A and B are shown apart, each in its own frame.
Chain A
């Protein structure tokens, strides 16, 4: 008889905990390996922009951070939805483990955007459609995390914040287009992030390398956080006591 693969083996926190522990170093090293050439390319290889000079180089942090901020929200909502539908504990833990990293990248994107905006636009903050919707995304992350933190019972907290994350996902496109139309109606010929002509190949490579680095970092950090979450939520389980016993701790 052919051996049946148990697809759900690692959906149990007990089985996933050691696996996550083994995966963290790999992703952390990968993050480092992408960051070093990524930074090298962005600072030394990519040429200075003919219009924006050296200041454009913050884009190599800003653009990947903005990508990640949106991507993580989608992944988080996906996990949250899975947790609601399949009632699997691990997926809701993953959702709450991803939220702080997503919020951090959103904040980073706003921060670097404003650093770039000062020399380019002459203002720290412009009510540009992208900036505004990124700010609203930050509010959504904060709402998700504070609802999760406000409910003491972890199962109810996970399910309630999952509903909120899904409502947020339905709303994100609506919010994005509202803000976009609002912006074009109000400002007429507004200043938008200049797309530039076609991008230099080395700039593209630097951007992709940095995006990969952020991606690996996100996975490593989310796994670390989910391990803590597993221990906290399963603290009454036998196997947690086993794992935490001093003789086995290394």
Chain B
């Protein structure tokens, strides 16, 4: 048991260290998120009433795209330099290692989105409780995106045109998270309360935590054959 937690912690620490050495990669995802969200008022027009309505959807779609763009980094460099092969050979079960990688990946590419989202919400004139629910829904939802995305990233390792392909595979599977993530903010602003949506997002998170590392490990083994 201790060896499992030790392996998990080791993977997380290693991946975070690697990510912090290449800070530009982390910031690229974040700025992509900010830029996409800032483009919408330019396209739709600056009326605050409209912006307030579209804000949850825009922020959530941008978060979907940003976390999808970051997927390529999850396994690729380890795949290229052979680290991944060594991980497959370790005695620790692969799903635990995959979970560690996903968690580290979320810390560097998902958590920054959660933290900056309220600031973007202010640009869209969201009320304070809307901002809070937006951040909360992203906090529960973005790990699900990373978990589902891990399956797609593992399946497309070393595949021709993997970057575009991964969007085709992963985006349809992201739809439930988008619906309930953006729905939570909508519901709280219309006075319905966001609890139901957040509970469902939490359920998705638990389901994905159980199933996704396992499916991603199966996909990694297929890709490394």
Contact surface of A with B, Cβ cutoff 8 Å: 84, 136, 139-140, 142-143, 146-147, 150-152, 155-156, 159-160, 163-164, 166-168, 170-171, 174-175, 178-179, 181-182, 185
Contact = CB atoms under 8 A, between A and B. Distances in A.
Nearest to A153: B225
Nearest to B204: A174
A167 B165 contact: no
B155 A160 contact: yes
Contacts of A181: 179
A182 B162 CA distance: 31
Contacts of B179: 178-179, 181-182
Contacts of A166: 215
A139 B172 contact: yes
A151 to B, nearest CB: 6
A146 B165 contact: yes
27 contacts: A136-B172, A143-B168, A143-B169, A147-B155, A147-B169, A150-B156, A150-B160, A150-B161, A150-B162, A152-B160, A156-B225, A160-B222, A163-B222, A164-B151, A164-B155, A167-B151, A174-B204, A175-B172, A175-B175, A175-B176, A178-B175, A178-B179, A178-B180, A179-B175, A181-B179, A182-B179, A185-B186
A39 B219 CA distance: 45
A9 B160 CA distance: 36
3 closest cross-chain pairs (CB), A and B = A178-B176, A139-B172, A182-B179
Given A147-B165, A178-B176, 13 more contacts: A139-B171, A143-B168, A146-B165, A150-B165, A152-B160, A155-B225, A159-B222, A160-B222, A163-B215, A164-B151, A164-B169, A171-B176, A174-B176
Interface in B143-167: 151, 155-156, 159-162, 165
Contacts of B172: 136, 139-140, 143, 175
